[in-house]
Amino acid sequence: MLANGELSEDEFQSLCGLIGQPGAGMRSHINVALETIHGLWSTKSLIPVRQRVTSLLLRKLVRNQGENSRVVVDTIQTLARSREVKVYIECWRIGHFTLGNTGCPV
């Protein structure tokens, strides 16, 4: 929807605003984020769109997690089905110093 202009990035951010809220059931929020990421990356939409949406979802998930941020991203990265997604997440971690930058494999 972002790629074809049906939805602006601001609208998308509003729609996923509940992801990662304080007191959220992180197991279900992680599952929702993973299914969204899997669907997005399987459609082969534009790479910048996939990356931007994935980044937004990851940021939303960890914004209130404090010390658990690394565990949340580790979980998403481990459960990702696609190697392409796993590599993107590894690269995404660079610059997100609280999330355990281990270096980008590409």
| Confidence category of residue 106, pLDDT binned at 50, 70, 90 | very low
Residue 46 CB partners (closer than 8 Å, separation 6+): 3
Residue 95 CB partners (closer than 8 Å, separation 6+): 101
**Overall domain count for the chain:** 1
Cβ contact 92:57 at 8 Å: no
pLDDT average, residue stretch 12-25:
74
What proportion of the chain, given as a percentage, has pLDDT over 90?
19
* Phi/psi-derived region of residue 5, left when phi > 0, alpha when psi is between -120 and 50, beta in every other case: left
The boundaries of the domain holding residue 50 are: 9-99
Residue 20 lies inside a defined structural domain of this protein: yes
Q: What is the pLDDT of residues 37-70, one digit of tens each?
A: 898 888 867 788 888 888 988 998 888 888 888 9
| Rounded-to-integer distance, Cα 70 and Cα 49, Å | 24
The pLDDT mean for the chain works out to 80
Per-residue confidence (pLDDT) for residue 98, from 0 to 100: 47
Residue 41 lies inside a defined structural domain of this protein: yes
Residue 71 lies inside a defined structural domain of this protein: yes
Residue 17 lies inside a defined structural domain of this protein: yes
Residue 64 lies inside a defined structural domain of this protein: yes
User: How distant, in Å, are the alpha carbons of 7, 60, 72, 82, 105 from that of 63?
Assistant: 23, 5, 11, 24, 25
pTM of the model: 0.76
Residue 45 lies inside a defined structural domain of this protein: yes
Residue 91 lies inside a defined structural domain of this protein: yes
Residue 51 lies inside a defined structural domain of this protein: yes
| Rounded-to-integer distance, Cα 97 and Cα 81, Å | 25
